[in-house]
Amino acid sequence: MDTPEEIKAAEKDVLDAATIVLAIPTAQRTKQSIEAELFILTWMEKTEHTFILSQAMLKCCKKDDMLGVYLAALAKGKLGYNEKHEVNAVKEFIKYVNNPNMGIKKTGAIKKLIKANDSGDLSYYTS
């Protein structure tokens, strides 16, 4: 991925990589999921799209090595939805942490995130 055309063409692969990351528990990461995380990060560094890492969301990522999941959710939010990219990214993250198969411990920060989602106000987490 060096030219703007290659970076743009990689978007489908980035979405596929995000799907892989969001389907595997962090405790059971595989070579494929780690490579998918690295691919997403490389694309994020090179794409014309802008990604803002929310400090509130980063607090949710401190346990269970969740940064890769957050980046995958951001990529899916940007490429998988026509609008409300940041909100949809946060909702993808919430789907992941709420999935009992992922084995994520609900830290205080994650509990606050879920509560904010339940109340319909994710503004604290999207900027």
Mean pLDDT by 10 residues, the chain (127 residues): 93 97 94 96 95 94 89 96 92 97 94 96 90
Q: What is the pLDDT of residue 59?
A: 94
**pLDDT, position 64:** 73
Helices (H), 22-107: 31-46, 55-60, 67-79, 85-98
So what's the pLDDT on residue 62?
86
- pTM of the shown model: 0.93
> What is the reported pLDDT for 88?
95
Dist. CA 90–CA 100, nearest whole Å: 18
Please give the DSSP secondary-structure letter assigned to residue 22: T
